[in-house]
Amino acid sequence: MSKIVIVGAGGHGKVLADTLMAGGKVVSGFLDSDPSLHGCHVMGLRVLGDDDAAQPGWLLVNGVGSVGRPLGRMAVDRLFAGRGFQFLTVIHPGAIVARETVLGEGCQIMAGAVLQPDAVLGRGVIVNTRAAVDHDCHLADFVHVAPGATLSGGVQVGEGSHVGTGAVVVEGIRIGSGCMVAAGAVVIDDVPDGAMVAGVPAKVKRR
């Protein structure tokens, strides 16, 4: 069986370690670029070294979190995918995932999340704690649906967009690529690529 190693020993990495162990997985440790962590233990798991410590055959978990654009997560994915590594899809045993849901490589579905039928998630998508993605939603690569956010049916979210904590997106809305939906926003209109929206109802803000 392949060793499971988490890349990133920060807050998101700790949640992933707990999620994996809750599902009965054996986690072999972390990788982290911070040399002060090397040899230390996080969640009882050893930090094995930096990115260069990765060994062929390891199954990786992308433990880099994201607030706003997920550039760090995407960089980790590109680096290790380019070296031939695969990323494990992680699903908390307390999540509800419909049988017809499609999950791309390296998706992360956290505790209390709900995914309804015919939701399609791209590579490296995070559906965080207690977030809900309803039927027929399409989330492109590296979207992050933050804790407690709700996507109603038929919502489309473009690559690398972030839907903030507690935000609500009504049915049929399209959110473009590289967008930021602020925490608590209520989105009732389409959002163009690269925009930040905030408020109730959500309006485009200057970055």
Residues 162, 68 contacting (CB under 8 angstroms): yes
Instruction: Give catalytic status of residue 135 as yes or no.
Output: yes
SS3 state of residue 197? strand
Contacts (Cβ under 8 Å, ≥6 apart) of 79? 51
Choose the catalytic residue: 12, 92, 135, 144. 135
Calpha distance 207→202 (Å, rounded) = 15
In the numeric block, which tokens belong to residue 87?
């990323």
- Cβ atoms within 10 Å of 194's Cβ, excluding its own: 15
In the numeric block, which tokens belong to residue 72?
């760090």
Eight-state DSSP code of residue 182: P
In the numeric block, which tokens belong to residue 132?
């809900």
User: For residue 164, how many C-alpha atoms fall within 13 Å in the half-sphere facing its CB?
Assistant: 16
203-205 vs 196-198, strand pairing mode? antiparallel
Which residues are annotated as catalytic? 135
